[in-house]
Amino acid sequence: MGTVTNATAAGAAGAVIRTEGLTKIYPGGLTAVDHLDLTVERGEIFGLLGPNGAGKTTTVGMLTTRVLPTSGAASVGGVDVIAEPARAKQVIGVVPQTNTLDRSLDVRENLEWHGRYFGMSARAARQAADRLLEQFRLADRATADTLALSGGMAQRLMVARAILHRPQVLFLDEPTAGLDPQSRLALWEILGELHADGQTILLTTHYMEEADQLCERVAIMDHGHILALDTPAGLKRSVGADTVVRVTAAGDLEALADLLKSKIDGATGAQVGDGLVRLYLRGAQGALPKVISAADAAGFTVHDLSVTEPTLETVFISLTGKDLRD
């Protein structure tokens, strides 16, 4: 890597996160991230989608100086995060998976002191804190104990804290895990606003809806590798189907998959997983009766059928043969 450009080239489009061959092998031999090459553009909202253990958190850990890479290079905002972690911390904002709010301080003080850590004067920190409390609808909780906050409010406060020092990249690790649906929507809204304001955001998630709704580009990760990287629409197109039929039936599912693939017009593929067959179709009208009769004729009893459009989960399944939740 070596080229550490001046991070003050603000506003100029270009890569703000860049990794080359980034690898993390934990003591004990677990390869969490394997030669990751990734580029995130300034102003982009980028998602790492994958199941638990895919290497998303380790990737964010390395980009945010908390995990030491085994090999490879990584820079954020032009700062080499491996060679200059202390400097890199100036340009990143992080919302980790766990609640790391300062329990000894109240809501406003959490923001104020964060600003002080980042070199702001007491007055500037206070102003920034008050502005963010308004923006994140926490103003009426300004003097509340952090322990008294709901999960959604605590998460909003952590996001506010992470952007208070105006980082080049905001990292969020599974930001909505454990949040109720309403809080999740509220957080999505906030992230959307930040993105509209020009904030570069990298988030990890194992919720496909989150990646789909929020992210401009999504990298699908599994076992430390990026399996596919595109816009959500592009990823879904890559499945090569516009309809997915899930067939639950008794008997040899592999045989059923082969049968349906060959007998149904417009079938682009079929896959067995989670105790059912997924049949991918393109431009196929009125396929359901044909699926039933084809299965019936071959002696399969169909218990259930459902039709969906391809989702990012479909993409993940077509890439790995397994469910995101596994």
Q: Which chain residues interact with other proteins by CB under 8 A? A: 6-8, 10-11, 26, 61, 64-68, 77, 79, 84-87, 89-92, 94, 96, 98-105, 113, 115-121, 123-124, 127-128, 131, 161, 165-168, 197-199
**Taking the complex as a whole, how short is the minimal distance between the CB of residue 214 and other proteins, in angstroms?**
17
Closest contact distance (angstroms) between CB of 159 and other proteins is 13
Shortest spacing between CB 83 and other proteins, in angstroms = 11
> Which lies closer to other proteins via its Cβ, residue 98 or residue 285?
98
Distance CA 192, CA 161 (A): 17
- Is residue 103 within 8 A of residue 29, CB to CB? The reply is no
User: CA 42 to CA 181: how far, in whole Å?
Assistant: 29
Distance of CA 292 to the CA centre of its chain: 37
Q: What is the DSSP letter of 146?
A: G
Q: Are 157 and 112 in contact (CB under 8 A)?
A: no
Burial classification of residue 213, based on how many CB atoms lie within 10 Å of its CB (0-12 exposed, 13-18 middle, 19 or more buried): middle
- Minimal distance in Å, beta carbon 204 to other proteins? 16
Smaller CB separation from other proteins, 134 or 326: 134
Q: Nearest approach, Cβ of 89 to other proteins (angstroms)? A: 4
Of 77 and 175, which CB lies nearer to other proteins in the complex structure? Answer: 77
Cα–Cα distance for residue pair 105/121, rounded to 1 Å: 18
Of 112 and 212, nearer to other proteins (C-beta) is 112
Structure tokens at 296: 């019936």
Positive or negative, the CA dihedral 261, 266, 269, 272 is negative
Per DSSP, helices labelled H in 54-168 are 56-63, 85-88, 107-117, 122-135, 151-163
Q: Which residue, 180 or 197, is less far from other proteins as judged by CB?
A: 197
Q: Which tokens sit at 81?
A: 């995060």
CB of 71 to other proteins, least distance (A): 15
Nearer to other proteins, 36 or 94 (CB): 94
